[in-house]
């Protein structure tokens, strides 16, 4: 059954909040509108201190707050007043017989459980911040939205005061408030359940919880998704990052802008030195490090100037005016950085449509979730945290030992290769990758070796970094010299040093081929 039509005046309100932002103004406004207030604990004290009449909940229930505040509002005189469906004569009769007055408005927000966990508090302190009475009141009021308005956010207080002065909320508004309330309690329950499953009481020692939950709120409806026939929207988790970046200039972000910008930020922050990554269609046009961001940008752009046209630029340092001047000369869809030096945004804004974003800090998602039909895959995010990602743990499999400069070049290529898809082949020199192109996402490594190096000899003096060290032998009859895919093709195209993960099938052949070609591996 749903209520139809009329507003429901606000005569009596129950207010119990942890976040007391705007509480005094709310209480004064309700009092001036003729609303009587009932409140709990520190909320009641703050309202009284503001000079507003308030009834403490223990005066209503005749039962004192107890157990260090664990029991305050769990009482029939509270919940009957919230849950009575005032459309029903029988409910009205029962309230009269019990001497219970109904509530028209419930204003509640919950204990800061997520913030307590994030602070590094002890398990007991976290458990103590699991709210019981608050969610009970919120859910009760949301269920009974035909008779009660429920508010869980201080951002709604202005709406409450307007409604109190103008005769109450319409049914449509009460429905919307109820929806927000259920979202509030759902997110809270997911946070508690996730903490229990992952940290407090894991089901096993796998490091993967037996319950996986997350909540997002819609931030913006986008023009379309990856293609014009695909509707799309942006949702945020409330944890900052790219999804909540501040846009300082330019057109509205698109779906593809977000995916490319996310890839660019990750690529730039793979490096500790000043780094610029230029991304198009989620793959690098160029990645480079330099003494400063202007130098890094020049080098990254020089990797593939044609592909960089209309690309996305990410920087892991504040953008300088010098770099902004360079970018302003090139058609760029998006630039994202942790900050901008004075005057840099004004230089970039010479281009009307370039999207200028400020996103503080490095990408921080600890895990990646990939939906599949009927489920999802979860993996730990690759932050180059494996032992093999550290040059000090590398071993020489064949050839002569590299100089410190050559080893640094190979280390740069190794990090940069994280940003492209397997089969991934990068050619690196002078702290930049991808002079002609970088190979990525292709099924045949030989083709990528050719594509990555271009014409024979173009890659001379370059460093080659591959997810699989060298092309593996192919099936007999493959149209390659000797009928085998990978009989020494990679070094025919010019790289002089190579690196890759060991231990894979065919790895011994890689060493033999590298040794035959006098290629340090």
Q: What's the rounded mean pLDDT across residues 367-396?
A: 88
Of 309, 327, 358, the residue that ends a domain is 358
Looking at 15-29, 161-175, 202-216, 418-432, which range is the least confident one? 418-432
- Host H or E run for residue 150: strand 149-151
Q: Can 143 be counted among the known catalytic residues?
A: yes
Residue 466 located in a structural domain: no
Asked whether 455 and 437 are in contact (CB, 8 A), the reply is: no
Alpha-carbon span 324 to 343, nearest angstrom:
9
**CA-to-CA dists, residue 385 to 265, 381, 415, 451, angstroms:** 17, 9, 11, 29
Q: Do 177 and 278 belong together in one domain? A: no
Residue 49 located in a structural domain: yes
> Could you report the per-residue pLDDT of 111-151, keeping only the tens digit for each?
999 899 999 999 999 999 898 989 999 999 999 999 999 99
pLDDT for res 482? 35
> Could you report the per-residue pLDDT of 78-105, keeping only the tens digit for each?
988 999 999 889 999 989 999 989 999 9
Of 168, 200, 232, the residue that ends a domain is 200
Q: Do 196 and 254 belong together in one domain? A: no
For residue 79, the domain's CATH number is: 3.40.50.1380
Asked whether 327 and 348 are in contact (CB, 8 A), the reply is: yes
Residue 324 located in a structural domain: yes
Q: What's the rounded mean pLDDT across residues 367-385?
A: 89
Q: Do 169 and 293 belong together in one domain? A: no
The residue that leads in pLDDT, 505 or 341, is: 341
Residue 153 located in a structural domain: yes
Q: Do 186 and 301 belong together in one domain? A: no
Containing structural domain, residue 260? 244-358
Annotated catalytic residue: which of 7, 143, 175, 251? 143
- Host H or E run for residue 403: none
Residue 295 has pLDDT above 80, yes or no: yes
Alpha-carbon span 383 to 365, nearest angstrom:
10
Q: What's the rounded mean pLDDT across residues 453-471?
A: 43
Question: Over the chain, what is the mean pLDDT?
Answer: 83
Q: Do 34 and 181 belong together in one domain? A: yes
Residue 485 located in a structural domain: no
Residue 516 located in a structural domain: no
Structural domains counted in the chain: 2
Residue 134 located in a structural domain: yes
pTM of the model: 0.78
Q: 3-state DSSP call for residue 480?
A: coil
Strand pairing partners for 277? 287, 314
Alpha-carbon span 286 to 276, nearest angstrom:
8
Q: Do 32 and 156 belong together in one domain? A: yes
Q: Do 101 and 174 belong together in one domain? A: yes
Q: Can 75 be counted among the known catalytic residues?
A: no
Alpha helices for 360-483 (secondary structure H): 404-416, 445-453
3-state secondary structure 282-321: CEEEEEEECCCHHHHHHHHHHHCHHHHCCEEEEECCCECH
Radius of gyration of the chain (CA): 31
Of 358, 390, 422, the residue that ends a domain is 358
pLDDT bucket at 222, cuts 50 / 70 / 90: very high
Q: Name the nearest CA neighbour of 273 among 258, 294, 292.
A: 292
pLDDT for res 519? 46
Q: Do 63 and 178 belong together in one domain? A: yes
Q: 3-state DSSP call for residue 103?
A: coil
Q: 3-state DSSP call for residue 471?
A: coil
For residue 277, the domain's CATH number is: 3.40.140.20
Q: Do 148 and 265 belong together in one domain? A: no
Q: Do 296 and 189 belong together in one domain? A: no
């Amino acid at each position: 059954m749903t209520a139809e039509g009329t507003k429901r005046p606000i005569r009596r309100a129950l207010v119990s909040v942890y976040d007391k932002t705007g509480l005094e103004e709310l209480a004064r406004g309700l009092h001036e509108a003729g609303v009587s207030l009932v409140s709990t604990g520190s909320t009641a004290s703050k309202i009284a201190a503001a000079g507003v009449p308030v009834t403490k909940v223990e005066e209503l229930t005749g039962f004192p707050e107890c157990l260090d505040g664990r029991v305050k509002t769990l009482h029939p005189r509270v919940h009957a007043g919230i849950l009575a469906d005032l459309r029903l004569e029988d409910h009205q009769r029962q309230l009269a017989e019990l001497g219970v007055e109904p509530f028209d408005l419930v204003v509640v927000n919950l204990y800061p459980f997520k913030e307590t966990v994030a602070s590094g508090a002890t398990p007991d302190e976290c458990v103590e911040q699991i709210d019981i009475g608050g969610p009970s009141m919120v859910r009760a009021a949301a269920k009974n939205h035909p008779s009660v308005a429920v508010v869980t956010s201080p951002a709604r207080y202005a709406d409450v005061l307007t409604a109190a002065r103008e005769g109450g909320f319409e049914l449509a508004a009460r429905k919307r408030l109820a929806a927000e309330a259920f979202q509030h309690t759902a997110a809270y329950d997911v946070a508690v359940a996730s903490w229990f499953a992952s940290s407090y009481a894991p089901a096993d020692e796998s490091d993967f919880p037996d319950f996986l939950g997350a909540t997002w709120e819609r931030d913006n409806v986008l023009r379309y998704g990856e293609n014009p026939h695909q509707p799309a929207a942006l949702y945020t988790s409330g944890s900052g990052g790219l999804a909540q970046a501040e846009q300082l200039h330019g057109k509205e972000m698109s779906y593809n802008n977000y995916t490319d910008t996310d890839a660019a930020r990750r690529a730039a922050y793979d490096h500790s030195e000043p780094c610029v990554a230029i991304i198009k269609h989620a793959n690098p046009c160029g990645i480079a490090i330099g003494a400063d961001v202007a130098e890094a940008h020049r080098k990254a752009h020089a990797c593939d100037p044609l592909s960089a046209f209309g690309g996305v630029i990410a920087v892991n340092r504040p953008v300088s005016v010098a770099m902004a001047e360079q970018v302003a000369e090139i058609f760029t869809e998006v630039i994202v950085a942790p900050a901008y030096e004075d005057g840099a945004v004004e230089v970039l804004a010479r281009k009307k449509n370039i999207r200028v974003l400020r996103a503080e800090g490095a990408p921080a998602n600890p895990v990646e979730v990939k939906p599949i039909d009927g489920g999802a895959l979860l993996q730990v995010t690759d932050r180059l945290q494996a032992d093999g990602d550290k040059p000090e743990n590398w071993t020489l499999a064949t050839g002569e030992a590299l100089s410190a400069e050559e080893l640094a070049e190979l280390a740069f290529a190794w990090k940069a290769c994280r940003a492209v898809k397997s089969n991934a082949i990068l050619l690196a020199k002078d702290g930049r990758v991808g002079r002609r192109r970088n190979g990525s996402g292709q099924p045949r490594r030989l083709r990528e070796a050719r594509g990555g190096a271009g014409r024979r000899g173009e890659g001379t003096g370059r460093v080659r970094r591959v997810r699989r060290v060298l092309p593996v032998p192919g099936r007999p009859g493959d149209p390659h010299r000797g009928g085998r895919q990978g009989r020494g093709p990679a070094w025919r195209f010019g790289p002089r040093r190579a690196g890759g993960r060991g231990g894979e099938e065919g790895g011994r052949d890689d060493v033999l081929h590298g040794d035959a070609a006098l290629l340090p591996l």
